[in-house]
Chains A and B, each alone.
Chain A
Amino acid sequence: MSLRRRTLLKVIVLGDSGVGKTSLMNQYVHKKFSQQYKATIGADFVTKELQIDDRLVTLQIWDTAGQERFQSLGVAFYRGADCCVLVYDVNVMKSFDTLENWHEEFLKQANPPDPRAFPFILLGNKIDIDGGNSRVVSEKKAKDWCASKGNIPYFETSAKEDYNVDAAFLCIAKAALANEHEQDIYFQGIPEAAVPENEQRGGCAC
């Protein structure tokens, strides 16, 4: 606990299996990319520190498993999230179609006080594949979807080529910071010092 104000943001990464969530993480945090696919089991946790204006921010990134069998971890994983990164593969239509479910599921489980204002971001990943020739989801289609969800910021990324990865995470961090309410409710919420049942006799003599 240092004297300087530091902020920790819980970032949840969601999307179908194989869209490149873990690869984006590895590129963003470790600056590494591996062609090999390894399914995430449950969740991976990585942290990344960055400075935004004069604030030190730590991103606690929850890289979740895309497979359905891990969805039962929902509530516990989403609790207290500050922002949510949705990822799809621009070359796989189904991964785009299921965004609707991920979005809905997240809001249901995390249950943020103001769902419309909750910071999401959408990443269309793997734009490098085949020079873009195998892509099936157009940028316009993705942007339209984002607009329908309350203007979610959209980034096209390539974890492999490290394209737009830093920019996307910086964007989500800023959005989460902007959504952060100052936490001054604690001191208002403290009840007056009250002694239960055994109330002392008399007042003070002063």
Chain B
Amino acid sequence: MIDDEREGEIRASIEPATEDAPSSPGSSGYAGEGGDSSSTTSGSHFEIEHEEIQEDTRIEIDRISISDSHTGWIPGKRHFDEDDASLSWRKRKKHFFVLSHSGKPIYSRYGDEHRLAGFSATLQAIISFVENGGDSVKLVRAGKHQVVFLVKGPIYLVCISSTEEPYESLRGQLELIYGQMLVILTKSINRCFEKNPKFDMTPLLGGTEIVFSSLIHSFSWNPATFLHAYTCLPLAYAARQAAGAILQDVADSGVLFAILMCRHKVISLFGAQKASLHPDDMLLLANFVMSSESFRTSESFSPICLPRYNPSAFLYAYIHYFDADTYLMLLTTSSDAFYHLKDCRIRVETVLLKSSVLSEVQRSLLNGGMHVEDVPPMPHSGSSHLGQQMLPSDSPDRFKEVNSGIGGPSGLWHFIYRSIYLDQYVSSEFSSPINTPQQQKRLYRAYQKLFASMHDKGIGPHRTQFRRDENYVLLCWVTQDFELYAAFDPLAEKDLAIKTCNHVCQWIKDVENEIFLLGASPFSW
């Protein structure tokens, strides 16, 4: 489910069907609105100090109209009937806006873009006003809110957040939203604005709302969004090798990139010689594919742009789901390669079935990856596996203690390990006491903060950081080869925590064959 960034007391539970125009003009909170075909929506004032991002005192009822037909429900776009005059809209903790340099709205996370036209104009006025002075606005703090601006040629992106995430993180998120837009449209969109400043790009983005809301959702659960690394599905070395071999085979036949994924995790990938795939591109591509329902139902061939690879041109992606979770993406530069790619897919599928990679993938999904409970008590060498869970599930050896509430040794609750050479990370499975999505989001936010502070160019770089607050002990360790982020019980002892981190690193070394894609880093060719 999409998460909900808001304060608890206002709860708009059921969405009205809003396929057409916003149908409830009464909800914007202005008195005296007519119910006729025209309706007032908002008035904004361009005066920065009066800019009311904080909630105002207007008494307002968040009216939810329940209509009979739910056919128009658009997944991903929520609270369609809100605008900047709605108290509920103002209370949302994190807004994202995309607008054109003429102030026309392109995307808003919450509320209806057209009804936010006045707000959008205000944002443009602020940006342009500062630009007129030969400067550019990056961040405005207003009470507990941060307003982060990102200007990409004729496209302006703005985040208004009270989540206390670092500026760098929010800016990185705006970069990803812009990247996602390029995935769909390429940078050629700039030329449309050059020719015609009035250009309205919303029709070109029709139907992609879910792609953006899914990306924004991933900011709170997917560490790839701030680590700039990808993660692999844990898999026996032989199975990953088998998958890699056939992907290499098809890549040699004129495919630019061959990528086999399970949900947002990589099973294997291969690129044509010298072609490199950036982890951010993989994130955006996987998000685009996974959030678009139509890819699941049939094989597809779609123009797609990889912004880090070449922001101004389309590639063509052949996409096919082998099962509900596992999908193959074959990328090419040729717009008429569909049948060739289809043949490639059939070859890949045959090999995957023969070597039972797909069933191993399903088993890995069930068993999960690294569990903090399985961190070996002592650093040890020799052969090691991902704890017990790599054994067949029916094995009599399989026995896992359920120590709920205890976590791993020395109160270890969770860790993320990022390999710098591989551009990959591995994250432990969540376990007690980090059980709920809310707790997980909070931990990721804490990691994000840690990441930003470790990479702060002003005061860094740092090698280690130990931080204790009422929620966790956080330990971060950065070397030339890796970065380790670990969360412990807030009462954990420092020296034991450090020792445990060493164990974790040793453990990761021992099982790297199974958790990483080795020797195939897109950057290492």
Mark A residues whose CB is within 8 Å of B.
1-8, 10, 29-32, 41-51, 56, 58, 60, 62, 72-73, 75-77, 79-82, 113, 180-181, 183, 185-186, 189-196, 198, 200-206
**Which of A2, A58, A73, A198 has the largest count of B CB atoms less than 10 A from its CB?**
A2
Q: Are B275 and A6 in contact (CB under 8 A)?
A: no
Q: How large is the interface on B (under 10, 10 to 19, 20 to 34, 35 or more residues)?
A: 35 or more
**Cβ contact of A31, chosen from B32, B43, B254, cutoff 8 A:** B32
- Pick the contact of B314: A2, A3, A180, A193 (CB < 8 A): A193
Given A45-B121, A46-B43, A2 and B19 contact (CB-CB distance below 8 Å): yes
Residue of B nearest to A200 (CB): B272
What 0/1 pattern do residues 159 to 191 of B give for CB contact below 8 A with A? 000000000000000000000000001101101
Question: By the criterion CB–CB under 8 Å, are B315 and A193 in contact?
Answer: yes
Q: A8-B114, A56-B21 are in contact. Are A195 and B204 (CB under 8 A)?
A: no
User: Counting CB contacts under 8 A, is B289 at the interface?
Assistant: no
A41, A180, A195, A205: the one contacting B256 at CB < 8 Å is: A195
Q: Does B152 contact A (CB under 8 A)?
A: no
Q: By the criterion CB–CB under 8 Å, are B46 and A193 in contact?
A: no
Docked CA distance A204–B124 (Å): 47
In angstroms, how far is the closest chain B Cβ from the Cβ of A32? 8
Q: Does B142 contact A (CB under 8 A)?
A: no
A79 and B200 contact, CB distance less than 8 A: no
A49 to B40, CA, bound (A): 7
- Partner of A77 from the list B107, B125, B195 (CB cut-off 8 Å) is B125
By beta carbon, the residue of chain A nearest B272 is: A200
Nearest neighbor of B119 in chain A, beta-carbon distance: A45
Q: Which of B103, B208, B254 contacts A204 (CB 8 A)?
A: B254
B3 within 8 A of A: no
8 Å CB contact of B200 from A8, A43, A190, A192: A8
Which residues on the A side are within 8 Å of B136 (C-beta)? Answer: none
Known: A49-B114, A204-B254. A195 touches B333 (CB 8 A): yes
Query: Contacts of B275 on A, CB cut-off 8 Å?
Result: 195, 198, 200
Give B152 Cβ to nearest chain A Cβ, in Å: 16
How many Cβ-Cβ contacts under 8 Å join chain A to chain B? 215
Output the nearest chain B residue to A196 by Cβ-Cβ distance: B310
Given contacts A48-B38, A60-B121, A183-B200, contact A205 B254 (CB under 8 A): yes
- B40-61, CB under 8 A of A: which get 1 and which 0? 1111111100000000000000
Q: Complex: how many Å from CA A84 to CA B315?
A: 41
Whether B21 contacts A4 by the Cβ 8 Å rule is yes
Q: Which 10 A-B pairs have the closest CB atoms?
A: A80-B102, A76-B128, A80-B197, A206-B340, A204-B254, A60-B117, A45-B118, A45-B121, A58-B114, A50-B38
Q: Report the Cα distance A185→B38, complex, angstroms.
A: 31
* Known pairs A80-B104, A193-B314, A204-B340; A44 contacts B132 (CB<8 A): no
B207 interface residue, CB < 8 Å from A?
yes
Q: A1-B205, A47-B41, A204-B334 are in contact. Are A62 and B121 (CB under 8 A)?
A: yes
Smallest CB separation, B270 vs chain A (Å): 13
Task: Please give the distance in Å from A90's CB to the nearest CB on chain B.
Answer: 27
Which residues of chain B come closer than 8 Å to A195, judged between CB atoms? 256, 275, 310, 313, 315, 333
Q: Are B199 and A183 in contact (CB under 8 A)?
A: yes
| Extra 19 A-B pairs, beta carbons < 8 Å, given A8-B104, A200-B333, A204-B334 | A2-B74, A4-B21, A6-B114, A10-B104, A30-B43, A43-B125, A48-B40, A56-B114, A60-B118, A62-B103, A76-B124, A80-B102, A81-B198, A180-B198, A183-B199, A186-B188, A189-B192, A190-B188, A200-B275
Q: How far is the CA of A56 from the CA of B117 in the complex (A)?
A: 14
Residues of B within 8 A of A10 (CB): 102-104, 121, 198
The docked-state distance in angstroms from the alpha carbon of A183 to that of B30 is: 34
- Can you give 8 contacting A-B residue pairs, CB < 8 Å? A1-B107, A10-B103, A48-B38, A58-B41, A72-B132, A73-B128, A81-B102, A186-B192
Say whether B18 contacts A30, CB under 8 Å.
no
Closest to A44 in B: B45
Q: Which residues of A contact B310 (CB under 8 A)?
A: 194-196
B: residues with CB less than 8 A from A are: 18-21, 30, 32, 34, 37-47, 74, 77, 100-105, 107, 113-115, 117-122, 124-125, 128-129, 131-132, 185-186, 188-189, 191-192, 195-209, 253-254, 256, 272-275, 303, 310, 312-316, 332-335, 337, 339-340, 343
By a CB distance below 8 angstroms, the chain A residues around B132 are 72-73, 75-76
A42 and B131 in contact, given A51-B38, A195-B333 (Cβ under 8 angstroms): no
- Whether the Cβ atoms of A73 and B125 lie closer than 8 Å is yes
Inter-subunit contact B186/A1 (CB<8 Å): no
Whether the pair A80, B313 counts as a contact (CB closer than 8 A) is: no
Contacts of B101 in A (CB 8 A): 79-80
Query: Could you tell me the distance in whole angstroms from the C-beta of B399 to the nearest C-beta in chain A?
Result: 50
A62 and B102 alpha carbons, distance in the complex (Å): 11
Q: Specify which chain A residues have a CB less than 8 angstroms from the CB of B37 in the assembled complex.
A: 50-51
- B80, chain A: closest CB distance, angstroms: 8
A202 to B128, CA, bound (A): 48
> Are B340 and A7 interface neighbours, CB within 8 A?
no
Report B261 CB to chain A, min CB distance, Å.
Answer: 22
Q: Which residues of B contact A43 (CB under 8 A)?
A: 46, 121, 125
Q: Shortest CB–CB separation between residue A22 and chain B, in angstroms?
A: 10
Hey, which chain A residues are within 8 Å of B195, CB to CB? Answer: 185
